[in-house]
Amino acid sequence: MYKIAIVPGDGIGKEVMSATLEVLDGLNLDLKYEYGEAGDECFKKNGVALLDETINIIRNSDACLFGAAGETAADVIVKLRQIMNLFVNLRPIKSYPGTDSLFNDLDFIIVRENTEGMYVGKEEYIEEGAIAKRIITREASERICNFAFKYARDNNKKKVTAVHKANVLKKTDGLFKKVFYEVANEYPDIETEDYYVDATAMYFLTRPQSFDVIVTTNLFGDILSDEGAGLVGGLGLTPSGNIGKSNALFEPVHGSAPDIAGKCLANPTAMLLSAVMMLKYLNEQKSAKLLNDAIYNVLNEGKCLTPDMGANSSTMEMAKEIKNKLLEKS
């Protein structure tokens, strides 16, 4: 039995979560759900966007599935990553069949540092305007670079690319780059390279196939992963995992999408692929493969898809079709 924390959040977060739980019901797994509140609605109801109770539910779970928060995202998801020390944000950029993808041959992953950098929330007003602190520590840089190299080794990836802006951010990114090459020495079997973030943004468009594993700091990782989502058919398709020493939280890269919320238009694929990542993390490899194959099957058939993918099924119709494929196989 696995204890799974379920935090649907706001807007389409709730819709893609119900769809995902409907599909997971088709797997032969003993999952015990504990629900936690967080986000804009939670704030309206309780005066705080993230309840202590929710934090405890996540802490005591084997893994957490998180939908999306709205305007309170910084007080919810960014805070959860920091207080639970979920130091890795894993964001695969993969071409899926039957999707309106700019590229159909991509399979790389962004390993984003998740606890510091530009997102430490240390901003203040000064007379002339406002300033933000960007914190890069040796410890967090070593930890994320080690994770990236280990990930490459364990997943048959050949190369790790560090992305930074060390020519301008000489001290902070200078340190990140230095640590990257120190860690690289321990993994002589893995190829290494490093690029400036602006050049990387262009290479994403001109030769994204050349990437295997990218390791980078918090803000750059955030921006590049949305750009990566754009390469493979949009935010409806890109999953992620926030992983720490003893906790993990899986969520779609997208937010609460107020423009389509409440209309049953949300693509459940990103949330479902996040559930696949969760099953892999729990070492339920067989269920992970079954679910992944069922999603691929439905994408490949191209019939029962949400409007962002050019068809006209609802969120739940697409989920039920994926569940049917699962049930056919098990």
Asked whether position 313 contacts ligand NAI by CB under 6 A, the answer is no
Say how far apart CA 66 and CA 77 lie, in whole Å: 9
Q: 224 contacts which partner out of Mg ion, ligand NAI, none, CB within 5 to 8 A by kind?
A: none
Among 136, 224, 270, 322, interactor with ligand NAI by CB under 6 A: 270
Instruction: Write out the H or E segment, with its range, that includes residue 75.
Output: none
**68/197 with CB nearer ligand NAI:** 68
- Within 10 angstroms of residue 75's Cβ, the number of other Cβ atoms is 19
Task: Annotate 260-285 with three-state secondary structure.
Answer: CCCCCCCCCHHHHHHHHHHHHHCCCH
CB of 266 to ligand NAI, least distance (A): 4
Q: Where are the beta strands (DSSP E) in the chain?
A: 2-9, 31-35, 63-68, 88-94, 107-113, 123-126, 129-132, 159-164, 191-196, 213-216, 239-243, 248-252
Asked whether position 15 contacts Mg ion by CB under 5 A, the answer is no
CA dihedral 159, 165, 169, 170 (to 10 degrees): 50
Catalytic site residue from 14, 165, 177, 325 = 165
Is residue 94 part of the annotated active site? The answer reads no
Q: Between residue 229 and residue 268, which ones bind ligand NAI under the rule CB under 6 A?
A: 235-236, 251, 254-260, 266-267
Among 26, 36, 70, 221, interactor with ligand NAI by CB under 6 A: 70
CB of 89 to ligand NAI, least distance (A): 10
**176/239 with CB nearer ligand NAI:** 239
What DSSP string describes 236-264?
Answer: GG-EEEEE-SS-EEEEESS---TTTTTTT
Is residue 198 part of the annotated active site? The answer reads yes
Say how far apart CA 306 and CA 266 lie, in whole Å: 7
Binding segment for ligand NAI (CB under 6 A), chosen from 62-70, 126-134, 210-218, 241-249, is 62-70
Q: Check if the beta carbon of residue 103 is closer than 8 Å to that of residue 95.
A: yes
Catalytic site residue from 173, 194, 212, 222 = 222
Catalytic site residue from 45, 158, 170, 198 = 198
Is residue 35 part of the annotated active site? The answer reads no
Asked whether position 73 contacts ligand NAI by CB under 6 A, the answer is yes
Among 222, 251, 284, 308, interactor with Mg ion by CB under 5 A: 222
Among 38, 65, 68, 305, interactor with ligand NAI by CB under 6 A: 68
CB of 270 to ligand NAI, least distance (A): 5
Q: 222 contacts which partner out of ligand NAI, Mg ion, none, CB within 5 to 8 A by kind?
A: Mg ion
Is residue 165 part of the annotated active site? The answer reads yes
- Chain CA centroid to CA 177, Å: 23
Nearest CA among 102, 97, 164, 176 for reference residue 136: 176
Distances 275 to 68, 183, 242, 327 between C-alpha atoms, Å: 14, 31, 12, 17
Is residue 263 part of the annotated active site? The answer reads no
Contact residues: Mg ion, CB under 5 A? 222
Contact residues: ligand NAI, CB under 6 A? 12, 16, 68-71, 73, 77, 235-236, 251, 254-260, 266-267, 270, 308
Catalytic residues: 119, 165, 198, 222, 226
